[in-house]
Amino acid sequence: MATLHHYPLCPHSRFIRLALGEFGLDATLVEERVWERRREFLELNPAGTTPVLREDSGLVIPGPGPIAEYLDETRGLALAERRLLPEGPGGRIEVRRLLDWFNIKFNEEITAPLVLEKVMKRFMSRDEGGGPPEMSAIRAARGNVRYHLRYIAWLTAKRNWLAGDNLSYADLAAAAHLSCVDYLGDVPWDEDEAARAWYARIKSRPSFRPLLSDRIPGMAPSAHYDDLDF
Amino acid sequence: MATLHHYPLCPHSRFIRLALGEFGLDATLVEERVWERRREFLELNPAGTTPVLREDSGLVIPGPGPIAEYLDETRGLALAERRLLPEGPGGRIEVRRLLDWFNIKFNEEITAPLVLEKVMKRFMSRDEGGGPPEMSAIRAARGNVRYHLRYIAWLTAKRNWLAGDNLSYADLAAAAHLSCVDYLGDVPWDEDEAARAWYARIKSRPSFRPLLSDRIPGMAPSAHYDDLDF
């Protein structure tokens, strides 16, 4: 079985866990506390970031983008009309554009600061950058969630899923980031019914279940985190 | 002819200009001052970032990663053994890993802060975030250049080009970022002969020439910027 080096509240790890689920692939999960910079992990990925997928063959694929492209290239055709990176150039461009939107922009503006300040800093030593959270960073990130929800609502007003008729990597990435923010209780679902309805659809997929049972030690998720009818 | 919306010292724009050059494709360059958030530009790319490639057909491709994948998918085979994203899975993984290394990690640690502080802030209004540069950000970025040069030297000690035997997107991305930093005079070339030798090889390619004639108004490049024998 393949191995996925991940961190439970790493949105990029969650994106790949969702993708593996949609492909019907099992992987052994190995938790990496990236701030500890474990030597064997840095040999797999010198950038020191999660996720890293390791195939049985020994092939190592680091990073959400490279893993998503690799899965599409090696197993995409088997999904037929459920392929997560669609066949035509226009569809592929739109999915990749939205992947960057969530994995870069949403991440920088929301997920990365929230997870660093509220979660990782609790577990990091002083030398690793640990300490009390910076409230200004948390407030800024919370403010940014709103316009991303509106963007999701705008996309789903025109389309069945974020990038078009079918579920794609774009939905999985968006849901992965939102699921981290939702664990922390920082998604104002009651302010955007269309975004909530889209998230409810993806949250009820079997691939999402393992994410809903993740727990960070000493840090319970928001009350509605694993509720499919939130 | 295709159109490329770019900014002269945007490393991601330079990466795509180099790629277009290697593909032998001409494009009309349109300069975007992204901080002005021009409405027509935001319609092409809601993320408001450069580069954006627009094909004659009207097809719009935003972002360095999506453009690189698109060019490979539509014109990659024509390059035959000069293909910039190699054929086999292992080669593709390594090129994409290094693309993320330079376009995400190097960018965050070096290019983005240096270009923002030293260049963009001179042209931005107060409301847009303009003002005097933050010297602490510049110092941190300058310090980070060194270990990236060592990483390039380490890779080229084992390989002809960064990702393997052949020139690839990895070299173009690395060179694009370094060329921005070099314009600003912040690459300590004399500290790393192997990295310098690799850069000299890529700098002498015809695809690199247009970058060497870029000039930012009121901001001359470093003395050796366009010198092939630096």
Q: What confidence score (pLDDT) does residue B205 get?
A: 98
Chain B: give the shortest CA distance to residue A49, in Å. 10
Q: What confidence score (pLDDT) does residue A156 get?
A: 97
Q: Which residue of A has its CA nearest to B148?
A: A47
Judgement on whether residues A105 and A191 belong to the same structural domain of the protein: yes
Judgement on whether residues B30 and B94 belong to the same structural domain of the protein: no
Using only C-alpha atoms, chain A has a radius of gyration, in whole angstroms, of 17
Residue A227: inside a domain, yes or no? no
Rounded Cα–Cα distance for residues B83 and B105 (Å):
24
Judgement on whether residues B76 and B159 belong to the same structural domain of the protein: no
Residue B120: inside a domain, yes or no? yes
Pick among B44, B54, B61 to test the A interface (most A CBs inside 10 A): B61
Q: What confidence score (pLDDT) does residue A77 get?
A: 92
Give backbone dihedrals phi and psi of A4, rounded to 5 degrees, phi first.
-120, 115
Q: Which residue of A has its CA nearest to B58?
A: A90
Judgement on whether residues A111 and A160 belong to the same structural domain of the protein: yes
Out of A66, A89, A104, closest to residue B96 by CB: A66
Residue A211: inside a domain, yes or no? no
Judgement on whether residues B59 and B95 belong to the same structural domain of the protein: no
Given A80, A99, A118, which residue is the final one in a domain? A80
pLDDT tens-digit profile of A193-220? Answer: 999 999 999 999 999 999 999 999 999 9
Number of domains in chain B: 2
Rounded Cα–Cα distance for residues B46 and B37 (Å):
10
pLDDT band for position A188 (50/70/90)?
Answer: very high
Pick among B54, B74, B87, B100 to test the A interface (most A CBs inside 10 A): B100
Judgement on whether residues A108 and A58 belong to the same structural domain of the protein: no
Other Cβ atoms closer than 10 A to A1: 9
Out of B62, B97, B100, closest to residue A97 by CB: B62
pLDDT band for position B29 (50/70/90)?
Answer: very high
Given A54, A80, A106, which residue is the final one in a domain? A80
Kindly tell me the sign of the dihedral angle through the C-alpha atoms of A163, A169, A172, A178: negative
Beta pairing partners, B28: B3
Give buried/exposed letters for B38-69 (b at 16+ CB in 10 A, else e).
Answer: eeebeebbebbbbbbbbeeeeebbbbbbbbbb
Q: What confidence score (pLDDT) does residue B138 get?
A: 98
Report yes or no: A113 at the B interface, CB cutoff 8 Å. no
Given A26, A51, A80, which residue is the final one in a domain? A80
- What is the CATH classification number for the domain harbouring B19? 3.40.30.10
Residue A229: inside a domain, yes or no? no
Chain A: give the shortest CA distance to residue B139, in Å. 19
Calculate mean pLDDT across residues B186-196: 96
Average per-residue pLDDT for chain A? 97
Judgement on whether residues A40 and A99 belong to the same structural domain of the protein: no
Calculate mean pLDDT across residues A122-145: 96
pLDDT tens-digit profile of A62-78? Answer: 999 999 999 999 999 99
Residue B105: inside a domain, yes or no? yes
Residue B211: inside a domain, yes or no? no
How many pairs of residues across A and B have Cβ atoms under 8 Å apart?
66
Cα dist from A178 to A21, A32, A173, B33, whole Å: 18, 21, 9, 31
pLDDT tens-digit profile of B107-164? Answer: 999 999 999 999 999 999 999 999 999 999 999 999 999 999 999 999 999 999 999 9
Judgement on whether residues A197 and A96 belong to the same structural domain of the protein: yes
Judgement on whether residues B72 and B96 belong to the same structural domain of the protein: no
Q: Which domain holds residue A190?
A: 89-206
Calculate mean pLDDT across residues B180-202: 97
* Local structure of residue B161 (DSSP, 8 states): B
Residues of chain B above pLDDT 90, percent: 99
Q: What confidence score (pLDDT) does residue A164 get?
A: 96
Judgement on whether residues B76 and B156 belong to the same structural domain of the protein: no
**Interchain contact, A73 vs B89, CB within 8 Å:** yes
Judgement on whether residues A191 and A168 belong to the same structural domain of the protein: yes
Report yes or no: A77 at the B interface, CB cutoff 8 Å. no
- What is the CATH classification number for the domain harbouring A109? 1.20.1050.10
Chain B: give the shortest CA distance to residue A161, in Å. 18
Judgement on whether residues B173 and B77 belong to the same structural domain of the protein: no
Q: What confidence score (pLDDT) does residue A123 get?
A: 96
Q: What confidence score (pLDDT) does residue B149 get?
A: 98
Report yes or no: A46 at the B interface, CB cutoff 8 Å. yes
Residue B221: inside a domain, yes or no? no
Rounded Cα–Cα distance for residues B105 and A50 (Å):
13
Calculate mean pLDDT across residues A92-106: 98
Q: What confidence score (pLDDT) does residue B180 get?
A: 98
Residue B179: inside a domain, yes or no? yes
**Interchain contact, B62 vs A151, CB within 8 Å:** no
